[in-house]
C-alpha cells in the first residue's frame, strides 16, 4: 500500500492547464449539480483562466453547481486581495456566467472562526457532501492549510500557519502576514468522492516525490491522500522530475 501509485497523469507544461480545465468542464457537463471544492494560490490560475472556454466547449455550466472554498486566512479584512474568497472570486467566480448556484465560503468576518468552521461543514452536509476536491500542493506538503503534523482524522478547524504559508500570503499583498487560518480538514477532504491533486513546476518536484514515493505520514499531509481510492494526481513534466521509476 505504501508504494502504490495513484492515478498519475503527466502533461507537458503547455498542455497541463487545458487538460485540467477540460477534465473539470467535463465533470460539470456530466453532472450539472456537481459539488466541488476549489483551492486558491498560484497553481490553479491557468486552470481557472481556461475554464470558461472549456465549459463552453464541453456544453457545461456551473449554474446548478455548488463551489466550496478550501481554506481562508484569519485576521484579514473582508475584500482584502490576499483573502482566499477574494482570490477565488477574482480568478474564477466573477468570470463564470451563469454564476454557480452556491458559492460556500468560511464566514470569518463574524468574529468566531470556530463557528465559521462548524457552519462550513454544515453547509457541505446540507448539499450532500463533496463530489470532487481540487488541491494544490504546498512546498511543505500541506493540503489546504493542513500543515505538516496533521493526521488524516483532522477535521475542519482553526490552524496556525507554517512559515512558508505565511510567506505565500505576502505574494498577494498581505501585510502583516497572517499567522492563522481556517481549513477544510483532512477528514472532510478524504470524505470526497474524488480528489485531484494539481502540481506544476520544478519548484514542486521534491515535495511531489516526497508525497508519492515517501512514507505515508502526517509530516507530509499530501502523502495521506494516497489512501483515497479516488485520488488523481495531475502534474506537468517539471513537477515529476524527482519521481522514482
Q: Per CB under 6 A, which region of 10-18, 28-36, 40-48, 210-218 contacts ligand PGA?
A: 40-48
Q: Please confirm, yes or no, whether 155 is among the known catalytic residues.
A: no
Q: How far apart are CA 218 and CA 142, in angstroms?
A: 10
* 231 belongs to the binding site for ligand PGA (CB under 6 A): no
- Structural contact between residues 156 and 121, judged by C-beta atoms closer than 8 angstroms: yes
Q: CB 15 → ligand PGA: shortest distance, Å?
A: 18
Binds ligand PGA (CB under 6 A): choice among 100, 136, 178, 218: 136
Q: How many CB atoms lie within 10 A of CB 60?
A: 21
Q: How far apart are CA 48 and CA 87, in angstroms?
A: 11
Q: Per CB under 6 A, which region of 41-49, 101-109, 175-183, 214-222 contacts ligand PGA?
A: 41-49
Binds ligand PGA (CB under 6 A): choice among 6, 41, 100, 181: 41
Binds ligand PGA (CB under 6 A): choice among 138, 141, 181, 185: 138
Q: Per CB under 6 A, which region of 39-47, 61-69, 85-93, 120-128 contacts ligand PGA?
A: 39-47
Q: CB 20 → ligand PGA: shortest distance, Å?
A: 13
Q: CB 42 → ligand PGA: shortest distance, Å?
A: 4
- Which phi and psi (to 5°) does residue 66 adopt? -115, 130
Q: Please confirm, yes or no, whether 140 is among the known catalytic residues.
A: yes
User: Which residues, 75 to 114, sit near ligand PGA by CB under 6 A?
Assistant: none
Q: How far apart are CA 40 and CA 46, in angstroms?
A: 11
* 146 belongs to the binding site for ligand PGA (CB under 6 A): no
Q: Please confirm, yes or no, whether 80 is among the known catalytic residues.
A: no
Q: Please confirm, yes or no, whether 71 is among the known catalytic residues.
A: yes
Q: How many CB atoms lie within 10 A of CB 2?
A: 10
- Which phi and psi (to 5°) does residue 232 adopt? -125, 130
Catalytic residue chosen out of the listed positions 18, 19, 22, 71: 71
x/- letters, 150..189, toward ligand PGA (CB under 6 A): ------------------x---------------------
Residues near ligand PGA (CB under 6 A) are 41-43, 136-138, 142, 168
Residues tagged active-site = 71, 140, 142, 147
Amino acid at each position: 500500500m505504501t508504494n502504490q501509485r495513484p492515478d498519475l497523469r503527466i502533461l507537458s507544461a503547455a498542455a497541463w492547464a487545458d487538460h485540467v480545465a477540460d477534465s473539470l468542464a467535463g465533470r460539470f457537463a456530466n453532472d450539472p449539480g456537481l459539488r466541488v471544492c476549489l483551492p486558491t494560490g498560484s497553481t490553479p490560475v491557468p486552470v481557472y483562466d481556461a475554464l470558461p472556454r472549456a465549459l463552453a466547449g464541453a456544453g457545461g455550466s456551473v449554474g446548478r453547481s455548488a463551489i466550496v472554498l478550501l481554506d481562508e486566512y484569519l485576521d484579514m479584512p473582508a475584500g482584502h486581495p490576499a483573502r482566499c474568497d477574494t482570490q477565488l472570486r477574482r480568478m474564477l467566480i466573477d468570470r463564470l456566467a451563469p454564476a454557480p448556484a452556491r458559492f460556500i465560503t468560511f464566514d470569518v468576518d463574524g468574529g468566531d472562526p470556530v463557528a465559521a468552521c462548524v457552519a462550513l461543514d454544515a453547509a457541505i452536509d446540507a448539499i450532500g457532501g463533496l463530489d470532487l476536491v481540487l488541491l494544490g500542493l504546498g512546498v511543505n506538503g500541506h493540503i489546504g492549510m493542513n500543515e505538516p503534523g496533521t493526521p488524516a482524522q483532522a477535521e475542519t478547524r482553526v490552524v496556525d500557519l507554517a512559515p512558508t504559508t505565511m510567506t505565500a500570503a505576502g505574494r498577494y499583498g498581505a501585510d502583516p502576514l497572517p499567522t492563522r487560518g481556517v481549513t477544510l480538514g483532512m477528514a472532510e477532504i478524504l470524505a470526497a468522492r474524488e480528489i485531484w491533486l494539481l502540481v506544476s513546476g520544478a519548484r514542486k518536484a521534491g515535495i511531489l516525490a516526497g508525497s508519492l514515493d515517501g512514507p505515508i505520514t502526517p509530516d507530509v499531509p499530501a502523502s495521506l491522500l494516497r489512501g483515497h481510492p479516488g485520488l488523481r494526481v495531475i502534474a506537468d513534466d517539471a513537477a515529476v522530475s524527482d519521481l522514482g521509476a
